[in-house]
Structure 1
Amino acid sequence: MLDPLDILTNIDDVIPYYQAIFNAEEQRVVGYEVLGRILANAEIESLGSFFLDSGIPEEYKLEVDDRVIRQALERFKEADRDLLIFINQDANVLMLDHGESFLELLKEYEEQGIELNRIVLEITEHNFEGDIEQLYHMLAYYRTYGIKIAVDNIGKESSNLDRIALLSPDLLKIDLQALKVSQPSPSYEHVLYSISLLARKIGA
């Protein structure tokens, strides 16, 4: 694993990677999720552990995240106009300024031709430690700009379906591999069924 200081001192080597999002109903790729990577020692390494490390100051994470997102949005300006871009954000960090700095970044690229209804903000509900009502109001404000909301890692760890319903996301993302490990078959299928019912109920 890379040392956080190595990442910060080599921030020019930080790049976005893109994971295709496949719509099973339409049988096509509908967008791409942005993932942080770094070119280190002639190899591409994930920045996942860097972003998840609670010991690293948030301003360092924000600096690296900003670089990843800006590069991704620059490239997205040339993408097909029907493609969505999925951007992961830590809800706890977003709420530090009630989502204003992230929204300003997106509006900056809206002026350059990226419609905000092509942006999907991904958050992980079970990691959020603040007031869920305040988070709901912030997400509702984002929606007024056309930004879509996805809740990630549904069914994993301490996901609370009541809290998820309150947030009224447009999309629910399920980590099937993690779900199968934590919920032996056929239990995980019951969890999937419950989540599908929730999705229908809240229009996600």
Structure 2
Amino acid sequence: MTQQEEFYSILATGELTAYYQPIVSLSDGRIYGYEALARGPASSQLAMPDQLWAVAEKEQRLYALETLARKRAIEGFAPANPAWKLFINLNANVIYDPQFTPGQTLSLLEMQGLTPQQIVFEITERQSIADFTAFKQALSHYRCQGYKIAIDDAGAGYSSLQAIAELRPDYIKIDRSIIRGIDRDDIKAILLETMAIFARKIGCQLVAEGIETLAELDVVTALGVPLGQGYVFARPQPELRPISAEILLWWTGIRKHLGVEASG
């Protein structure tokens, strides 16, 4: 079966799974929310998202795939703590899909007992936005209903600053390339600290992505980044799993060092 045939089979059968990775408050170790990541059938050529979305874009069926992925993400998140946020990827090119018709997400949320205020749409910087005016108009539909917006992969390319200035996001997610080895790289640390100060000044939440080691977590936390995500907390799983016991112990030690009662 070709990738194209597998893609249309996934759309027809709905055989898509949402995996969730926690986003954690770095001030106290509590779960702030989860990012939902779509996965195709394990045996498929389209099991991983890069290939899956590439075929969707080639076939001009971005919106059809996003609708299915969003449905699966919301269904799996429904029993969650009402204070948690669900981060869902939004392909910047979806507004050019001929099937794009706003309004379906709200119906999905209502069916599962969720609200728009719990949803954050992540716009990846790796997908360039050709027409900011048109894209902002599309986003205004979501924002008016209470959804929040995040710029994903900030720092991975050259358009971060323009996207931040034009879209005025509620969250900025710093790409893992900046976080990787930050405990051994003063330039990366200075860059992240600058972004943390900038985010606070514009009233935006900063999320450090791709934290994989306790050494990286130490630096990111010390630099005042409020939220973190990465393998150090948990790998993406098809359930809403808590963060690891090792990390909870790490927070207990840090908070004792600071003279603050551990919250768990």
Q: Are residue 68 (structure 1) and residue 80 (structure 2) matched? A: no
1:132 counterpart residue number: 132
Task: Extract unaligned runs of 5+ from structure 1.
Answer: none
Give me the whole-angstrom Cα distance separating, in 2, the residues matched to 1:157 and 1:100.
27
Deviations 1:139-159 (A, max 9, x none): 344222110111001111213
Of residues 10, 13, 33, the one that matches 1:31 is 33
Amino acid paired to 2:59 = P
Residue 107 of structure 2 is matched in structure 1 by 108
What is the CA distance between 1:200 and its match in structure 2? Answer: 1.7
CA distance in 1 between partners of 2:68 and 2:17 (Å)? 8
SS for the counterpart of 2:104 is: helix
Distance 2:108 2:202 in 1: 30
Structure 1, 18-27 or 82-91: larger mean CA deviation: 18-27
- RMSD of aligned C-alpha atoms? 3.1
Q: Quick one: structure 1 residues 185 and 57, their matched pair in 2 at CA, closer, same or farther if it must change by over 3 Å?
A: same
Task: Supply the distance in 2 between the matched residues of 1:131 and 1:155 (Cα, whole angstroms).
Answer: 20
Query: What corresponds to 1:150 in structure 2?
Result: 150
CA apart distance, 1:55: 6.2
Residue 194 of structure 1 is matched in structure 2 by 194
Does structure 2 conserve the Cα–Cα contact (< 8 Å) formed by 1:126 and 1:160?
A: no
Following superposition, the deviation at residue 44 of structure 1 comes to: 9.5
Amino acid at match of 1:107: L
The number of residues matched between the two structures is 199
The one-letter code matched in structure 1 to 2:105 is: L
| Residues 95, 135 of structure 1: 8 Å contact kept | no
Distance 1:180 1:6, change over 3 A: same
Hey, what's the Cα distance between the residues in 2 that align with 1:63 and 1:160?
27
Aligned pairs for 1:1-204 (under 5 A) are 3-11=3-11, 12=13, 13-41=15-43, 45-52=47-54, 56-59=58-61, 61-94=62-95, 96=97, 101=101, 103-112=102-111, 113-125=113-125, 127-176=127-176, 178-179=177-178, 185-204=185-204
CA distance 1:10–1:171, shift in 2 (3 Å): closer
Alignment match, 2:229? none
Q: Which shows bigger deviation, 81-90 or 192-201?
A: 192-201
Deviation at 1:88, TM superposition (A): 0.3
The aligned counterpart of 2:233 is: none
Identity %: 28
Instruction: State the distance in 1 between where 2:135 and 2:7 align.
Output: 30
* Deviation at residue 173 of structure 1 after TM alignment: 0.5
Does the 8 Å contact 1:126/1:158 carry over to 2? no
Structure with a larger share of its residues in strand: 1
- Structure 1 residues 15, 179: CA separation in 2 closer, same or farther (over 3 Å shift)? same
Structure 2 letter corresponding to 1:39? P
| Structure-2 change in CA distance of 1:138 and 1:56 (3 Å) | closer
Task: Name the amino acid aligned to 2:107.
Answer: E
CA distance in 2, matches of 1:10, 1:146: 31
The one-letter amino acid of 1:73's match is: I
Task: Specify the SS of the correspondent of 2:106.
Answer: helix
The letter of the residue matching 2:79 is: E
CA gap of 1:171–1:26, structure 2 versus 1, over 3 A, is: farther
1:151, 1:27 → 2: CA distance? 23
Mark the structure with the bigger radius of gyration: 2
Contact 1:124 1:151 in 2 (8 A): yes
Mapped partners of 1:33, 1:136: distance in 2 = 23
TM-score (normalised: structure 2)? 0.65
Q: Report 1 or 2 for greater relative contact order, CA contacts < 8 Å, sequence distance ≥ 6.
A: 2
Distance 1:198 1:139, change over 3 A: farther
Q: Deviation string for 1:145-183 (max 9, x for gaps)?
A: 11011100111121331431331111110123x2257x9
